[in-house]
Every structure is written in C-alpha cells, then in structure tokens.
Amino acid sequence: MFTRLLIGLDGSPSANEALEQAIALGSRFKAKLVVAHVKETHWKGRRSSDSGELLQRAQERVKDAGLEVETVGRQGSPDTELAALARDVDTVLVGRRGRSSPGDAIGKTVSSLIRIAERSVIVCASKPSPMQSCAIAYDGRETSQHALEFVARFASVTHSTVHVIHATIDPAIGTMVIGEAEAMLSLQGVAFVTHIEHGTPGEAVARVIAATKCDALFAGAHVGKHNAVTVSHAEEILLHTDIPVVIQP
C-alpha cells in the first residue's frame, strides 16, 4: 500500500514534522522514503535552506530509523516539482505551512499541491501520529468514494475501525449518502461507525474527532468547472484539525 513515500522539505519545523510522520508510516509499511528539497527560484534576496545540508540531515535521520532513503534536489516551484515527483511514489507528505508562508494556517505550497497532485497527499499535523484510528469526511462524490476505498484498504491492514463523517442540513439525504459508504465498507469486511452531523464539513469533522479521538483523517478532492482540480472542503477541514489528513485525488 505504501512502498515509496515522498517528503517535501524546506527547512521549516512543519516540514520536519512531515519527515517524522513519514518515518512512522514508513516503519509500519517497510517503505522507502524519497526526501526532496525544492529551492524556490523566486526567493530573490531571501535566504533559503542549503539543499545539501538539509538533505544530508534528513538522510541520516531516516537511516537511523532503519529505512531506505533517497534524496532529490530540485529548483523551481515547490508545488509543481513535488507534484511531478509524486507520480513515481504512492503518496507525498508535507507540513501544513512552510518557510514561504509561516503565518498562514495552511501554506501556499500545500494549498496548490492538494489541487494538482495525481497521488494522495498527506498533510501532516504538529506531531507524528500512529494513524491507528481512522476517520473519513465523506460527501458521496467520486473522489470521496476513492478516499473511502483507500481508507478501507488502510483499515484492513491496520485492523482499525473507520469513522465515516457526513455533514448535512438534511438528515434524510445524509442517511442516503452514508448508506452508500456503509454498503461498501460492509462488503470489504471493515468495522465502521457512521456520523451524520449538522454544520460545515470542518465543524462536523472537528466534533467527531474530538469525541472519538481519531488520529488520521481521509478526504477526497473533486474536479470543478472546466476540469480545474479543486479540493472538496479539504482546506476548511485542515483548519479545524491537527491530525494527519490524507487527501485523495
């Protein structure tokens, strides 16, 4: 399921958290870690992290954890370069905010990457999570269904219960949407609990996570108008949580 993990580093504490999360996940699945640093070309007059030193420290940390590691240095826009590198891995892990947007709740690179990546993106929390209790923000859309399939596979491997969360203002419609998820998870033999919640997706997710103590969240992206890839509630959800969020394209 996870054999190659890509981690985007930029020298920020948030990116270091992504590396630690990748080590935790990689140790469980015996994965190879691909650590990448993209030197931004538009950072004129601003000091950027030294790629060689940054990658060497990360390489040593991963080797100390007993995992295989590969390092990659690129130059350009971090979102597009990481999206290109992600085509050859199973998922990409990033911190919530980087050196270019330290004051934002979600960094510019993250906001763009979760729109353009062709692989799942794990937006990491403020500390590594064992990712043993899974939740999914489910809205019934196509990529939400992909996320459901993904969390079902993950839960089958980790033997965890999946908490399915659906935010709605109409309980009757919510019951129909949740029913689709129940049917799929039942066929897969995965244990699950469903939650139909009032309010916005971010608020609903936050309430359920607080009550259940889930430590990993899955969500889907969707294709908007003119085939422009956007994210279904993911940014709002990220603002309300501090656990790893796995975003499935």
CATH of the domain at 183: 3.40.50.620
The last residue of a domain, from among 90, 123, 156: 123
The last residue of a domain, from among 99, 123, 147: 123
Q: Does 128 fall in a domain?
A: no
- Judge if 53 and 79 occupy the same domain: yes
Q: Does 129 fall in a domain?
A: no
Q: Taking residues 191-197, what's their average pLDDT?
A: 96
Q: Taking residues 130-134, what's their average pLDDT?
A: 94
pTM score? 0.90
Residue 244 token pair: 């790893």
Give the confidence band of 140 by pLDDT, cuts at 50, 70, 90: very high
Q: Taking residues 89-100, what's their average pLDDT?
A: 83
Cβ neighbors of 93 (< 8 A, separation 6 or more) are 5, 6, 7, 8, 18, 19, 21, 22, 25, 121, 122, 124
- Judge if 109 and 214 occupy the same domain: no
- Identify the domain containing residue 43 by its residue range: 4-123
- Judge if 141 and 192 occupy the same domain: yes
